Amino acid sequence: MPPTADTPLTVSLPSPQPGGTVPTLPIVASPDEVTGRVAALASLGLEDLRIEWRKLYRTAPPLRLSRDLLQRSIAHRMQEEALGSLSTAAQRQLTALARTLASNGKQPPVASAAKLKPGTTLVREWHGRSHTVIVQEKGFAHEGKHYASLTQIAHLITGAHWSGPRFFGLHRAPRRTRQGAADGE
State the total domains in the chain: 2
Task: Determine, yes or no, domain membership for 144.
Answer: yes
Task: Determine, yes or no, domain membership for 28.
Answer: yes
Q: Is the pTM of this model over 0.85?
A: no
- Residue 19's pLDDT band, with cuts at 50, 70 and 90, is very low
Looking at residue 83, its pLDDT comes to 80
- Residue 8's pLDDT band, with cuts at 50, 70 and 90, is very low
Task: Determine, yes or no, domain membership for 159.
Answer: yes
Quick one: 165 exposed, middle or buried, by C-beta within 10 A (0-12, 13-18, 19+)?
Answer: middle
Q: 139: which strand partners?
A: 136
**Which residues form the domain of 144?**
121-167
Most confident of 23-27, 34-38, 86-90: 34-38
> Do the Cβ atoms of 21 and 13 come closer than 8 Å?
yes
